[in-house]
Amino acid sequence: MTPQLVIFFVLAAVAVLGAASLIFQRHPIHSALSLIVVMVALAGLYLLMGADFVAAVQIIVYGGAIMVLFIFVIMLLNAGIEERTNASRLARFAGVPLTVVLLGILAVAIARSQVASQPAQLADTHKISMQLFTEFVYPFELTSFLILVAILGALVLAQRES
């Protein structure tokens, strides 16, 4: 057991427990806090892989901006404990078996794949930015349009009808 492997298993356990907690908590605020735990654990895994730029973006954008937005909305709508209703027949009978099948297929595919892992490299934020502004410059510019459209859409959706 190398130290990296120990760190990986601890972070993976935290992430999986957080995701399970998202499912089992009945209050949306508790689910949101569990999701933040998952995101912080994933940021740790990114650091372990040597992707420190992605780790920083994960914390700032996901853990910071997006989850704060979620918690704002939960508090704005005063969301209470989830009503316990009967799960739909489809969800009850097909949901779990199909998920197990999906996981099984993925596990078999992953076990068969031969991806040689390389040692974690040093910070390559410079390389990422070079690639972002040369090879991926059109998608990058398109994302600004996407965000503009999203802002307009959110404004139109949220305004009160006059």
143 is a contact residue toward another protein (CB under 8 A): yes
Q: What CA–CA distance (Å, rounded) separates 70 from 20?
A: 19
Which residue from 89, 113, 122, 141 is in contact with another protein, where contact means CB under 8 A? 113
How buried is residue 39: exposed, middle or buried, by Cβ count under 10 Å (0-12/13-18/19+)?
A: buried
Look up residue 6 and give its two tokens.
């120990």
Kindly determine how many residues on this chain lie close enough to bind another protein according to the rule CB under 8 A: 80
Which residue from 59, 89, 93, 95 is in contact with another protein, where contact means CB under 8 A? 95
In the complex, what is the shortest distance from the CB of residue 162 to another protein, in angstroms, rounded to a whole number? Answer: 15
150 is a contact residue toward another protein (CB under 8 A): yes
How far is the CA of 7 from the CAs of 122, 136, 149, 157, in angstroms? 18, 33, 41, 44
Left (φ > 0), alpha (ψ -120 to 50) or beta: where does 60 sit? alpha
118 is a contact residue toward another protein (CB under 8 A): yes
Contacts with another protein in 23-82 (CB under 8 A)? 23, 28, 31-32, 35, 38-39, 42, 45-46, 48-51, 53-54, 57-58, 61-62, 65-66, 69-70, 73-74, 76-77, 79, 82
